[in-house]
Amino acid sequence: MSQSNNDILLAISTPPFWHCGRTIRQNSLHTLLALAPAAALSLIQWGVPAARVMALSMVAAIVTEAVCQILMKQKLSQDNGTAAVTGLALAFLLPASAPWWLTLIAAVCAMGVGRMAFGGYGANQVNAALVGWALVFVSFPIPMDPNAAVLHTSLADPLFRAKFFGGAAAADFPLADLLLGRQLGGLGATQTGALFLGGLYLALRGVIRWEIPCAFLAGTFLVASAFHLADPELYAGPLFHIFSGSTVFAAFFLATEDSCCPHRRLPMTLYGLTGGALVMLIRVFGVYADGAPFAVMLINLLAPMFALIRSHPFGTGPRKAKRTSDNEGRARS
């Protein structure tokens, strides 16, 4: 038995030799799994059009990534699933009525401009799906507006109502309806209940860091409460704002894109709080009904600033004793 040991080829590796098992691919698969319930509910609600948008967006994202990687002479990495995740996330933000060309443009821009232009997965400063979404949202406002599209639905856009008919209109939307996605908006982003559960799953799995969604939702909650208390007639309550539109989706799935957010606890908390607060500020003062995607883009851009907040590295902190000069020497070395 041991004789054979002499003939085998050993693999040389570098420490550590154990690994947590978490890989990019695994994280993507978990994310897709977390998005699955929302996607399923969306299919039930919108049927074939939603399926079409989701499939087209994912395929276009994957193909764009592959083409860019070939042009950039990079290793093909479609098997790690990140393009599929971005494609699906993007589709979640589009209305189910999105025409094929709109979906295509959004997906190609998301992968091309949002990600590959920066060098590939993990190099982008702003969430790639949001870049694609923002480009078409600003360029083609009419087909992007679910209120304007001809959809055979009795659903209404809660944020649209709240914005233009006052906070009292929010009463038309029971919380249960919002949670079950009976609202008009992005085809998947409005499945807030399912997304909340999916997000929870990701946080428990450690794929996303819980501090960000917690702080994000807390930010929305606090600012929405403040407005609501100031004038309940004009401004809807905090739960309405959390579970309408894409706040939950943004908190769990958009704001948490690893390369666009800070990683230490205090910066993550501030980043989340700012994002959550911005959602409300845009919803109240901005021209757009749903502020969440823009809020995430803004905090993405602010992330490097938040990341500057960090504690002293090990043993270099200020010390009470006379040793401080010594420490400075260490810190600088």
Binding mask 279-308 toward other proteins (x if CB under 8 A, else -) reads: ------------------------------
What distance in Å separates the CA atoms of residue 14 and residue 166, rounded to the nearest whole number? 61
Binding mask 97-136 toward other proteins (x if CB under 8 A, else -) reads: ----------------------xxxxx-------------
The alpha carbons of the chain give a radius of gyration, in whole angstroms, of 22
Does 325 bind other proteins (CB under 8 A)? Our answer is no
Can you list the pairs that 159-162 forms with residues at least 24 positions away whose Cβ atoms lie under 8 Å?
159/185, 159/244, 159/245, 159/283, 159/289, 159/290, 160/184, 160/289, 162/236, 162/240, 162/244, 162/283, 162/289
Among the residue ranges 18-26, 127-135, 219-227, 234-242, the one whose residues contact other proteins (CB under 8 A)? 18-26
Closest CB to other proteins among residues 154, 325: 325
What distance in Å separates the CA atoms of residue 31 and residue 224, rounded to the nearest whole number? 29
Binding mask 227-266 toward other proteins (x if CB under 8 A, else -) reads: -------------------------------xx-xxxx--
Does 73 bind other proteins (CB under 8 A)? Our answer is no
Closest CB to other proteins among residues 66, 155: 66
Question: Which residue in the block uniquely carries the two structure tokens 């000069």?
Answer: 325
CB atoms within 10 A of CB 226: 13
Q: To the nearest whole angstrom, how small is the minimum distance from the Cβ of residue 273 to other proteins?
A: 18
Does 315 bind other proteins (CB under 8 A)? Our answer is yes
- Which of 15, 48, 71, 287 binds other proteins (CB under 8 A)? It is 15
Size of the site for other proteins (CB under 8 A): 54
- Which of 310, 318, 324, 328 binds other proteins (CB under 8 A)? It is 310
Does 4 bind other proteins (CB under 8 A)? Our answer is yes
**Each residue of 237-258: b (16+ CB within 10 Å) or e?**
bbbbbbbbbbbbbbbbbbbbbe
- Which of 148, 312, 318, 328 binds other proteins (CB under 8 A)? It is 312
Which of 40, 37, 36, 78 is closest to 60 using CA atoms?
Answer: 78
Does 24 bind other proteins (CB under 8 A)? Our answer is yes
Q: To the nearest whole angstrom, how small is the minimum distance from the Cβ of residue 319 to other proteins?
A: 8
Structure tokens at 285: 């003062």
In the chain, DSSP assigns E strands to none
Among the residue ranges 88-96, 219-227, 293-301, 310-318, the one whose residues contact other proteins (CB under 8 A)? 310-318
Closest CB to other proteins among residues 5, 154: 5
For residue 244, give the DSSP letter: S
What distance in Å separates the CA atoms of residue 271 and residue 248, rounded to the nearest whole number? 15
156: left (phi over 0), alpha (psi -120 to 50) or beta: beta
Does 79 bind other proteins (CB under 8 A)? Our answer is no
Interface contacts to other proteins, rule CB under 8 A: 1-2, 4-6, 8-24, 26-27, 119-123, 203-206, 209-210, 258-259, 261-264, 310-317, 323, 326, 330-331, 333
